[in-house]
Structure 1
């Protein structure tokens, strides 16, 4: 692991790291799974964390043994229906929905001149940042529609460093999902896992919840 002093940028996942929009995603996917006759389980919900829209739909269909039941056009229709449902659930989102300590952490990064980018698989991330009143702190954002591969592929975190004009080893990636940690590690960046350390056991640094994520605690863990 690199030394803390080498770090110049922080790359954030959104759902479950900055705000719990993942609960809205889960609710919208659950409703679609019910409609498609696929049994919703906690394991399936965990598989969808940090995964893009079409990949999530394919995981749901595979879980129900229905992966060959729909045309590509039908899949796009269902994915769009889920997204519309998700956006309607998001309408009440405000800065009060930011996870504990994360606004202060992001403000601290900005005050200390660290560069900040967003590496979310969600095409709705600009709307979410705006609703949370955090967009002003982000120097750049990866546009997921420009990516060839979703997480756990490292592409999104490689791009997260590129949009800040930094080398991967100068960046820290923050994630709450196994697929995200694999993505950060594959990009050769320092990974911070937020959640159960037994599940996120490949992370370089672990915090059980967002309130523990501070510059001082990251520096202590790295040095």
Structure 2
């Protein structure tokens, strides 16, 4: 019986324990209608049900439980449940295109770090409307666009907000963020960024930016690297956010380069998924465990050696 439970939970449920935290990546065999299991972890009783509609996590006992679902952090309160999409099996590792013609970068966490700047702006907004917001919730916003981030924050709001009110709140947060980045300059680039961009340009590669931030063009100007890019995605025009591949496909099309001849560079699991869905090879910047589905992971952009991924 123990072996059967482990086969179900660790096999199809994708349970792993990493860094003292639970990680799930549930899949559903084609011939199955669904399955479920119970799990006790550090005083918490968690129920997991999987069917074609998605994965339902319900916390029946214990305190606040933080775990990962398909690489994204989930924070579940006692007595609450959340339904998330099934994990998509990872495609076979891509072979880096030796005839690579373009590099497509994310911005925040790859070229510079405005994550805490976003946090302060969201925190200021949340405090103003009486919604609890902390660094744990902020982790869920990584790689997510503005309106989707607002929806996550409003999950704990004491009342519902209309569409017009949500747009106003998003605009208010953006105003706070713009105030925060007023002091940004070239000194805020990560070490090595200029060298990587110059080396790519010297190698004849095209450069694109696929950032979910609508402030990306202004931020690149402040950082002094706007002229390094052949195309910067218009985040306001991209309807579907990462992990949808739309923004990466948009950049590849604008550069005039087939997706299979592009390499995407990201720091978020959702971004890696989007790159693969676009048919590109993916380089992760940051924690190898969080970015385990990337084709290669390097700790920081300064460690990016173009010769490792692109033939001369």
Scaled by the length of structure 2, the TM-score of the pair is 0.67
Distance in 2 (alpha carbons) for counterparts of 1:209 and 1:22: 15
Please state whether the residue corresponding to 1:120 is helix, strand or coil. coil
Please state whether the residue corresponding to 1:5 is helix, strand or coil. coil
Shift of 1:65: 5.1
Q: Quick one: which of 199, 217, 226 aligns to 1:108?
A: 199
Distance in 2 (alpha carbons) for counterparts of 1:59 and 1:31: 15
Tell me the residue number matched to 2:261.
170
Q: Which has a greater percent of strand?
A: 2
Tell me the residue number matched to 2:287.
196
Shift of 1:34: 2.0
Tell me the residue number matched to 1:30.
123
Q: Comparing 40-49 with 4-13, which one deviates more in the overlay? A: 40-49
Q: Quick one: which of 155, 166, 169 aligns to 1:78?
A: 169
For CA contacts below 8 A with separation 6 or more, give which structure has more relative contact order: 1
Counterparts of residues 119-134 of structure 1 (less than 5 Å): 119-134=210-225
Q: Comparing 39-48 with 137-146, which one deviates more in the overlay? A: 39-48
Q: Quick one: which of 140, 145, 155 aligns to 1:52?
A: 145
Structure 2: 5+ residue stretches without partners: 1-93
Shift of 1:219: 4.5
Q: Quick one: which of 36, 40, 56 aligns to 2:133?
A: 40
Distance in 2 (alpha carbons) for counterparts of 1:3 and 1:157: 17
Shift of 1:3: 4.0
* 8 Å CA contact 2:107, 2:216 repeated in 1: yes
Tell me the residue number matched to 1:152.
243
Please state whether the residue corresponding to 1:96 is helix, strand or coil. helix
Deviations 1:33-80 (A, max 9, x none): 222322223331111111111111001112x155x6101111111110
Please state whether the residue corresponding to 1:6 is helix, strand or coil. coil
Q: Which has a greater percent of helix?
A: 1
Distance in 2 (alpha carbons) for counterparts of 1:74 and 1:125: 24
Please state whether the residue corresponding to 2:283 is helix, strand or coil. strand
* RMSD, aligned CA: 1.5
Please state whether the residue corresponding to 2:204 is helix, strand or coil. coil
Aligned residue-pair number: 218
Structure 1: 5+ residue stretches without partners: none
**Per the alignment, do residues 42 and 129 of structure 1 end up closer, same or farther by CA in structure 2, a change over 3 Å counting?**
same
Tell me the residue number matched to 1:13.
106
Deviations 1:101-120 (A, max 9, x none): 11110111111110001111
